[in-house]
Amino acid sequence: MKIVFMGTAPFAVPCLKALLQAGHTVCGVITQPDKPRGRGHKTSYSPVKEYALQQGLEICQPQKVKSVEALRRIIAWNPDLITVVAYGQIIPESILTLPPCGCINVHGSLLPLYRGAAPIQRALMAGEKVTGVTTMYMDKGLDTGDIIRRAEMTIDDDIDYGELQERLAEMGAELLLLTINDIVAGTVCREPQDSGLATYAPALAGSDELICWDKPAEAIHNQIRALSPQPGAYTTIDGSKLKIYRSRVIDTTASGRPGTVTSVSTGLSVQTGQGLLELLEVQKEGRKRMPARDFAAGQRIAAGIALGS
């Protein structure tokens, strides 16, 4: 089957890899334009572009996927099917209706739950215990198309975004191949979504990164793991930003002044609005990521100091 692949983020790479390994013809790849990243603002490629270049695939990077340029390129590729995975732009109807086998999407949630740009992070923030991957036929709505297949998994209490994304990406690649097999065999089933059950996962904003110590320990722990390793939840200490990458809840009922360090024996134990949270891995602005215990020793942090003030 001739397929145009549209994707940008790391979540999309296993799907592209699976298509090639299964013998499908990827006649073209559409990904987001190159962007400056990091401290030096050097231009870097998307993960999908990096892999596509390694495989010698044709690549198109329109600023807007609804542009005439993108439409003409897809028409020239003449695909049987378009596959979209973590691309980052809304696909117009002019493209959705183009291939004879339709346009399908791999989404990192159990639709209709967590429609939108950040389903994995938002599920972690909400403390969900189960998540999964869905393949669906795309329509003009935001993740509203008919469901084809779903696969689910349990969310471990301490898994972070990076780890969960990797596991879901591999599940998504397997589900994509099964979905395409269904399409080729003519046995594909379509299940309309129940919009009454829908929840939404908006893109992350800068405000999502700042820790509010008035919240319960479990909520803050979920925020930390949802943003680890990128972009990282943070608080402040002595006027400097302190990113937190790993934590654990050690008490759910303790009370006191939120943000106060109560112990530095094994990490940084911090009082929250309800319960105690132990910080395990941190990174102060301008320094390397390190165990919180080492950070506390090096900075001579003692119980009683306040974070986030």
pLDDT per position as a tens digit, 229-277? 999 999 999 889 999 999 999 999 999 999 999 999 888 999 999 999 9
Q: How large is the average pLDDT for residues 294-302?
A: 91
Distance CA 99, CA 183 (A): 13
Q: Tell me the percentage of the chain whose pLDDT exceeds 70.
A: 98
pLDDT in the model for residue 266: 84
Can you list the domains of the chain with their CATH numbers?
A: 2-197 (3.40.50.170), 206-298 (3.10.25.10)
Phi-psi region of 38 (alpha: psi -120 to 50; beta: other; left: phi over 0): left
pLDDT per position as a tens digit, 211-224? 999 999 999 999 99
User: pTM to 2 decimals?
Assistant: 0.95
Distance CA 148, CA 141 (A): 16
pLDDT per position as a tens digit, 154-163? 999 999 999 9
List, edge to edge, every strand of the sheet that includes 59-60.
59-60, 25-30, 2-7, 81-85, 103-107, 130-137, 147-154
Beta bridge partners of 282: 244, 290
Q: Which of 176, 187, 185 is nearest to 26 (CA)?
A: 176
- Cα-trace Rg, the chain: 22
Q: Is 222 exposed, middle or buried (0-12, 13-18, 19+ CB in 10 A)?
A: buried
Q: Which of 127, 126, 145 is nearest to 135 (CA)?
A: 145
Q: Which of 9, 201, 5, 185 is nearest to 104 (CA)?
A: 5
Mean pLDDT of the chain: 96
Phi, psi for 262 (deg, rounded to 5):
-105, -20
pLDDT per position as a tens digit, 169-181? 999 999 999 999 9
| Tokens found for residue 293 | 């215990």
Indicate the SS3 state at residue 282: strand
